[in-house]
Structure 1
Amino acid sequence: MLNSINTNPGAMVALQNLNSTNTELATTQSRINTGKKVGSAKDNGAIWSMAKMQTASSSSLNAVKDSLSRGQSTIDVALAAGDTITDLISKMKEKVLAASDTSLNTASFNALNADFVSLRNQIQKAAENSKFNGVSLADGTTTQLAFLANSDGGNFTVAAQDLSLTGLGLTSAATTFTNAAEAKSLIATLTSALQTATNKLSSLGTASTGLDTHLTFVGKLQDSLDAGVGNLVDADLAKESAKLQSLQTKQQLGVQALSIANQTPQSILSLFKG
């Protein structure tokens, strides 16, 4: 080996090794600090890009979940109105049945008729007030509502069910009586209206179940996407911790090796001592 004070190959090799160790140590410390083995595009461009796309998909599902939750609430409000409406129809049927009794006096008949009209008006009010966020599935103003179903903008469509007086065939013209015979004839009309209302509520209930199921699926899908991203970019901290200890020891040895290599030119001085 050339003995030179200008060039020290041993020190150069030791410095290269120490710099390599320091680079690995910095990488390991960054992984420990961030918890990620791929924190930026320069760590691994392909993996980083894939993780970013999947993270974006997962984040967009939050909007889907919000939309489906609004759908659930809209249906729940309609169902609540429907329960009230079916109760009102049952009471209306009770009133016309009582009014069909020919033994009633005029005052009693008129009282039953007034109660009947009041109940009929409450049905319309219940249908009109069955709104969530200004939207209703029961007032007859819309035919269907579409809620987000996936991150691509697909829709989950819910058919509206008209529970207004018109939708149930209980308009004032169709449900008016002035005598016992007319009251009796309305019994079949109200029975039919009650059946119609329960059928429509059944449809809304089925739609609500569908929304619940899809919302659960979207939640599981989002969890799976998040777990997949974690598998791509998250660091194994147990492994990184063990590697940190190894690199710190290697760094200390590298410093000592560089120190020894730097002492080599000093031995040349002994050649010039007389």
Structure 2
Amino acid sequence: MALNSINTNSGAMIALQNLNATNAELGTVQQRINTGKKVGSAKDNGAIWAIAKTQSSTASSLNAVKDSLQRGQSTIDVALAAGDTVTDLLGKMKEKALAASDTSLNSASFNALVSDFNSLRDQITKAVSNAKFNGVSIADGSTQKLAFLANADGSQFTVAAKTLSLAGLKLSSTSSFSTAAAAKSMIDQVSVALGTATNKLASLGTSSTGLDTHLTFVGKLQDSLDAGVGNLVDADLAKESAKLQSLQTKQQLGIQALSIANQSTSSILSLFR
């Protein structure tokens, strides 16, 4: 038989316990809806939170890798642009040397060709010396290789430098000719230099393609890490919305149940009338 007491109301205590539990669940759901996360802090799920934090840190650090690789792209692109100019100049130098090898030329015409040849030669030096990005060049012979970040662990993507200066092409700042015979000999030298330049540019092009491919991979890796973290910590808002409505209804019913339980003790007053 239930005890009729005004000091202890078991029904009210049970109703209050259920209402408190509902309010706690409702608070959790509201927090998930507000933040969009089912695991927003370590107290929500310590193990999942730790994994998510580690992977988020890795994904964020890949931004530095992408910056480094993009800087590498720009450095190689500048070198390739200089290389295109160098090959064009070498082609014109070969043309001038071929024209000067004609023994039927008069002195004025020959000297004009020599002057043009020397000017083109000097432009190669100017083009290569200006082929720098952020003060760094892989075309002027100032460095043998450049290393860029390849992953979040600090591993590197190495690009071998290719010297496109006159010295790197087996020419010099004094390479020229003074006779038709010397001009004919210069044709072969310039042809060799042109072949050397195109081979070096081909190598730089391969390095650029490899760097582009790796940059694309890093971007996909970062996206995959972000998606993985989202799978771990993001809340299903459709599910949480449905649960919110259910808990709100449950909360209202809990309040009514507590009200009814509190009113039950008023029946004791009728015993004293």
TM-score category of the 2 structures, normalised to the smaller one: over 0.9
Write the mapping of 1:41-80 to structure 2, written as runs, cut at 5 A: 41-80=42-81
Give the superposition deviation at 1:176: 2.1
1:109 aligns with 2:120: no
Structure 1, unpaired ranges of 5+: none
What is the match of residue 123 of structure 1?
Answer: 124
Amino acid at match of 1:98: A
What is the match of residue 264 of structure 1?
Answer: 264
Amino acid at match of 1:55: S
CA deviation digits over 1:33-87, x for unaligned, max 9? Answer: 1110001111001101110110000000011011101101110000000000000
CA deviation digits over 1:73-125, x for unaligned, max 9? Answer: 11000000000000000000011111111111111111110111100000011
Q: Percent identity?
A: 78
Count of aligned pairs between the two proteins = 272
Distance 2:203 2:154 in 1: 25
Report the secondary structure of 2:202's partner residue.
helix
Amino acid at match of 1:176: S
Distance 1:94 1:264 in 2: 111
Distance 2:45 2:176 in 1: 77
Give the superposition deviation at 1:172: 3.0
Give the superposition deviation at 1:265: 1.4
Structure 1 outlier segments of 4+, above 2 Å: none
What is the match of residue 33 of structure 2?
Answer: 32
1:83 aligns with 2:84: yes
1:203 aligns with 2:225: no
Structure 2, unpaired ranges of 5+: none
What is the match of residue 231 of structure 1?
Answer: 231
Write the mapping of 1:243-258 to structure 2, written as runs, cut at 5 A: 243-258=243-258
CA deviation digits over 1:155-178, x for unaligned, max 9? Answer: 0000000000000011034x2211
TM-score normalized with structure 2 length: 0.99
Distance 2:222 2:97 in 1: 55
CA deviation digits over 1:121-141, x for unaligned, max 9? Answer: 000111110001111110110
Amino acid at match of 1:234: D
TM-score normalized with structure 1 length: 0.98
Distance 2:45 2:213 in 1: 38
1:166 aligns with 2:194: no
Distance 1:172 1:53 in 2: 56
Distance 1:6 1:170 in 2: 107
What is the match of residue 9 of structure 2?
Answer: 8
Asked if structure 1 preserves the Cα contact closer than 8 Å seen for 2:146 and 2:160, the reply is yes
